Structure 1
Amino acid sequence: MADPVTAAIRNAAKAVVLHDGRVLLQRAHWEGQDCYFLPGGGQEPGEALDATVRREVHEETGQDVTPERLLWLREYIGANHDGAPEDHRVEAIFLCRPEGTLDPLGGHAEDDVQTGLEWVELEKVTGLNLLPQGLRPLIADLAHAELPTRYIGDLA
């Protein structure tokens, strides 16, 4: 009998950085596909989630941001999506505004899969291979109105 797998839930903070009707996205090559992700990443012990999103966005994009509010709380439970049973993530997704002028894009600690950065018009987000796909309509809807904070559940 195999030893049971001990799972740890990983907390992360992601950013929807908006400026002039555009959102800042990471271009990436992941699992054999070209795609986009929101900037952000894992929370460190003792770090508040708003500090996590500030740090991660700066590391990955070079842009300083101010988290304005929590937009969505997302989970990913790998066992529910043909993923590893021990893969369980909880992501706080913040609405963020760039601080000051827009800096030239390029962080000092980009993700391994990151191939670039791009400001994308909100109306074009639904046509992108943005992962997780369930975020596409939510982000695109921000072009019309800011949506209330909500739990969006186990979203792949």
Structure 2
Amino acid sequence: MKPIRNSAKAIIIENDQLLLTKNEDQEGHFYIFPGGGQEKFEELKDTVIRECLEEIGCQVSVKDIVYIREYIGRNHEFADWDQDVHQVEFYFECEILNKADAFKPTNPDDTQIGIEWIDIDKLNEIRLYPQGLTGILRNKVTKPSYLGDIN
């Protein structure tokens, strides 16, 4: 059994648009929040900063924590290949510090093919993980919340 993994994610919203990484798998395109796994001796805020540099190529300022989500793989659609995964994700409000015309990731995820700004009111039109954040973000709920095991 794998250990429980911590992950830190960035919620970057500007002009009613959410910045997400665009990824591709056998089913097509999907979107996820910039961020990733916490390394040993690394504070969560430093994880968000490092992961944003790697995945979107930008420095971010990390604000308050907004959501805590658990992902227990055996309870979701990808149980065939990640049933042993248990991840706790910490979502932080972030702001881009070094705005540039083009995003230049330094170490994107294997499935990442781009970065896109998505209108918040169109989140239900894309395959977003975790899908459970779609309604929460569309309704502008940004108070610290424990979301539990959602997908």
Residue-by-residue CA offset, 1:10-58 (whole Å, 9 max, x unaligned): 1100111112221111111134331111110000000000110111011
Tell which structure's C-alpha radius of gyration is larger.
1
Letter in 2 for 1:140: R
The answer on whether the counterparts of 1:62 and 1:106 sit within 8 Å (CA) in structure 2 is yes
Unaligned runs of 5+ in 2: none
Q: State whether structure 2 residue 78 is matched by structure 1 residue 80.
A: no
> Could you tell me the TM-score, scaled by structure 1's length?
0.88
Structure 1 residues 31 and 153, CA gap change in structure 2 (3 angstroms): farther
Per-residue deviation at 1:7?
2.6
The Cα RMSD (Å) is 1.5
The answer on whether the counterparts of 1:63 and 1:103 sit within 8 Å (CA) in structure 2 is no
Aligned partners of 2:26 and 2:137: how far apart in 1?
23
Which stretch has the larger CA shift, 49-58 or 102-111? 102-111
Runs of 4+ off more than 4 Å:
none
Aligned partners of 1:85 and 1:12: how far apart in 2?
17
Aligned partners of 1:91 and 1:30: how far apart in 2?
22
The answer on whether the counterparts of 1:27 and 1:35 sit within 8 Å (CA) in structure 2 is yes
Q: Percent identity?
A: 36
Q: State whether structure 2 residue 43 is matched by structure 1 residue 48.
A: yes
The answer on whether the counterparts of 2:58 and 2:99 sit within 8 Å (CA) in structure 1 is no
Q: State whether structure 2 residue 103 is matched by structure 1 residue 105.
A: yes
Q: 2:91 corresponds to which residue?
A: 93
The answer on whether the counterparts of 1:12 and 1:41 sit within 8 Å (CA) in structure 2 is yes
Per-residue deviation at 1:63?
1.3
Aligned partners of 1:132 and 1:47: how far apart in 2?
24
The answer on whether the counterparts of 1:106 and 1:117 sit within 8 Å (CA) in structure 2 is no
- After the TM superposition, which residues 100-139 of structure 1 pair with which residues of structure 2 at under 5 Å, given as runs? 100-102=98-100, 104-139=102-137
Which stretch has the larger CA shift, 44-53 or 114-123? 114-123
The answer on whether the counterparts of 2:2 and 2:85 sit within 8 Å (CA) in structure 1 is yes
The answer on whether the counterparts of 1:62 and 1:103 sit within 8 Å (CA) in structure 2 is no
Structure 1 residues 31 and 77, CA gap change in structure 2 (3 angstroms): farther
> Could you tell me the TM-score, scaled by structure 2's length?
0.90
**Partner SS state of residue 50, structure 2:** helix
- After the TM superposition, which residues 7-86 of structure 1 pair with which residues of structure 2 at under 5 Å, given as runs? 7-81=2-76, 83=79, 84-86=82-84
Unaligned runs of 5+ in 1: 1-5
The answer on whether the counterparts of 1:12 and 1:43 sit within 8 Å (CA) in structure 2 is yes
